């Protein structure tokens, strides 16, 4: 047996010689945080790459969610998905907002627009969808509902770096979108994140909020937080931005190989590319039907682990199953049948730009046999 460990993800690492040059320059400037030279340069570069008007960088991917809710003064209830990483809902909880869960669309694992209107109450102020696995939500239908009821829309786009629909950056949808630049993501700054907004005034307010609310040396205009990205991680981001397209293309090759290798396996399904969408191949989830496949998702998960192949049951359990949230009226299994079914069937196969053809074949053999 090949004992090499194959993990879900491998970070896009900066070239050490190039990083050394950046570090030396940062040290020579003697400015290592607080809106420094490379921080500004990275914000501008990301605006161009992502085809968005304004970007505000953060030290991680959770603070942009918390700050967006503060900036838009969201209160009461927010309709969201149970099928996400817990940071999505935690950001609501930290703002004293009640999450209201609705079921998901099996075609993209994002929030199902058909379920939103029935969940709206007089206390609803916003919708927080997630572009799960980088698969775009039905942003038009969601916006139509938001406009009809006067709601804000904040997208958790942690998985959606560089994703486009018909040439338009998906991050332009809604009132704001947030990104995660964690090391496991397609594009990373080791730890980091960003908030996407549409106008300069909102950008200024966000920049105040992520720096304790300071609008000058002696003026605080809001109860802000410390969410600033430093110069070192900004430099890592600038280096990795030069190589992210190459990494995405390598992931695309892996995705194609997975699909071809699993196409005729009974009980295993997966997503095809969506028409008109530029994908980033952030994850490769498969869905296990135990009756057709002959074993459960958890049995396959353990079988892969026994062969040093580390997939991830992503997302399992549902957020609505955690003790913090399972007491909510909207968290019942009856309210979320599709989300529960998918959470019990999904496993993300290893997906990163350093997977070799031999790695992929070994993974496929383990699933097929």
Q: Percentage of the chain with pLDDT > 70? A: 99
pLDDT of residue 131: 98
pLDDT of residue 4: 81
Q: Note whether 164 and 218 are same-domain residues.
A: yes
Residue 49 has pLDDT above 90, yes or no: yes
How does residue 258 score in pLDDT terms, banded at 50, 70 and 90?
very high
Q: Note whether 72 and 209 are same-domain residues.
A: yes
Q: Note whether 66 and 158 are same-domain residues.
A: yes
Q: Of 220, 241, 262, which residue constitutes the final position of a domain? A: 241
Q: What is the mean pLDDT of the chain?
A: 97
Tell me, what CATH number does 320's domain have? 3.90.1150.10
Give the residue-averaged pLDDT of 263-272.
97
Residue 9 has pLDDT above 90, yes or no: no
Q: Note whether 176 and 301 are same-domain residues.
A: no
Domain that holds residue 85: 16-241
Does the predicted model carry a pTM greater than 0.85? Answer: yes
Q: CA nearest 307: which of 364, 250, 267, 238?
A: 364
Query: Which run of H or E residues covers position 169?
Result: strand 168-169
Q: Note whether 252 and 210 are same-domain residues.
A: no
Q: Note whether 167 and 267 are same-domain residues.
A: no
Tell me, what CATH number does 97's domain have? 3.40.640.10
- Residue 271: inside a domain: yes
How does residue 10 score in pLDDT terms, banded at 50, 70 and 90?
confident
Q: CA nearest 360: which of 266, 248, 251?
A: 251
Give the residue-averaged pLDDT of 279-297.
98
Q: Write the pLDDT tens digit of every residue in 197-251.
A: 999 999 999 999 999 999 999 999 999 999 999 999 999 999 999 999 999 999 9
Q: Note whether 32 and 172 are same-domain residues.
A: yes
Q: Note whether 137 and 230 are same-domain residues.
A: yes
Residue 1 has pLDDT above 80, yes or no: no
Give the residue-averaged pLDDT of 346-350.
98
Q: Note whether 21 and 139 are same-domain residues.
A: yes
Q: Of 207, 222, 241, which residue constitutes the final position of a domain? A: 241
Q: Note whether 90 and 23 are same-domain residues.
A: yes
Q: CA nearest 60: which of 190, 176, 162?
A: 190
Pairwise pLDDT comparison (10 vs 236), residue with the higher score: 236
pLDDT of residue 2: 64
- Residue 179: inside a domain: yes
Q: CA nearest 57: which of 235, 227, 238, 239?
A: 227
Give the residue-averaged pLDDT of 7-11.
86
Q: Percentage of the chain with pLDDT > 90? A: 96
How does residue 178 score in pLDDT terms, banded at 50, 70 and 90?
very high
- Residue 55: inside a domain: yes
Sign of the torsion angle spanned by Cα atoms 319, 321, 324, 327:
positive
Q: Note whether 163 and 259 are same-domain residues.
A: no
Strand pairing class (176-180; 193-197):
antiparallel
Residue 104 has pLDDT above 70, yes or no: yes
Domain count, the chain: 2
Q: Of 187, 210, 241, which residue constitutes the final position of a domain? A: 241
Q: Note whether 176 and 321 are same-domain residues.
A: no
Give the residue-averaged pLDDT of 10-20.
91
Orientation angle between helical segments 231-241 and 16-29, nearest 10 degrees: 140
Residue 329 has pLDDT above 80, yes or no: yes
Give per-residue burial for 6-19: e unless 16+ CB within 10 Å, then b: bebbbbbebeeeeb
């Amino acid at each position: 047996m090949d004992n090499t460990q194959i993990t879900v993800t491998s970070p896009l690492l900066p070239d050490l010689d190039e990083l050394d040059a950046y570090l030396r320059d940062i040290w020579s400037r003697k400015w290592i945080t607080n809106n420094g030279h490379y921080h500004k340069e990275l914000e501008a570069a990301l605006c161009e790459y992502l085809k968005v008007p304004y970007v505000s960088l953060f030290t991680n991917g959770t603070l942009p969610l918390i700050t967006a809710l503060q900036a838009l003064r969201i209160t009461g209830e927010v309709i969201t998905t149970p099928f996400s990483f817990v940071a999505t809902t935690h950001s609501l909880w930290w703002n004293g907002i009640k999450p209201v869960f609705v079921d998901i669309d099996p075609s993209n694992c994002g929030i199902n627009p058909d379920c939103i209107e029935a969940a709206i109450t007089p206390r609803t102020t916003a919708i927080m969808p997630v572009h799960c696995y980088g698969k775009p939500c039905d942003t038009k239908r969601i916006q139509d509902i938001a406009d009809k009821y006067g709601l804000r829309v904040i997208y958790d786009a942690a998985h959606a770096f560089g994703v486009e629909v018909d040439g338009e950056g998906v991050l332009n949808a809604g009132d704001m979108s947030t990104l995660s630049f964690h090391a496991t993501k397609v594009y990373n700054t080791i730890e980091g994140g960003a908030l996407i907004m549409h106008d300069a005034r909102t950008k200024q307010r966000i920049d105040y909020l992520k720096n304790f609310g300071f609008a000058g040396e002696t003026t605080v205009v809001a109860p802000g937080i410390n969410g600033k990205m430093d110069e070192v991680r900004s430099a890592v981001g600038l280096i990795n931005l030069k190589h992210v397209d190459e990494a995405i293309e390598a992931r695309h090759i892996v995705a194609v190989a997975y699909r071809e290798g699993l196409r005729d396996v009974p009980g295993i399904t997966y997503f095809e590319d969506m028409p008109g969408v530029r994908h980033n191949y952030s994850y490769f989830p498969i869905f296990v039907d135990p009756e057709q496949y002959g074993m459960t998702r958890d049995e396959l998960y353990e079988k892969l682990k026994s062969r040093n192949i580390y997939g991830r049951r992503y997302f399992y359990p549902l957020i609505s199953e955690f003790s913090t949230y399972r007491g909510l009226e909207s968290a019942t299994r009856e309210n979320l049948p599709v989300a529960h079914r998918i959470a019990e069937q999904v496993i993300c196969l290893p997906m990163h730009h350093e997977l070799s053809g031999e790695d992929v074949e070994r993974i496929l053999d383990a699933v097929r046999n």
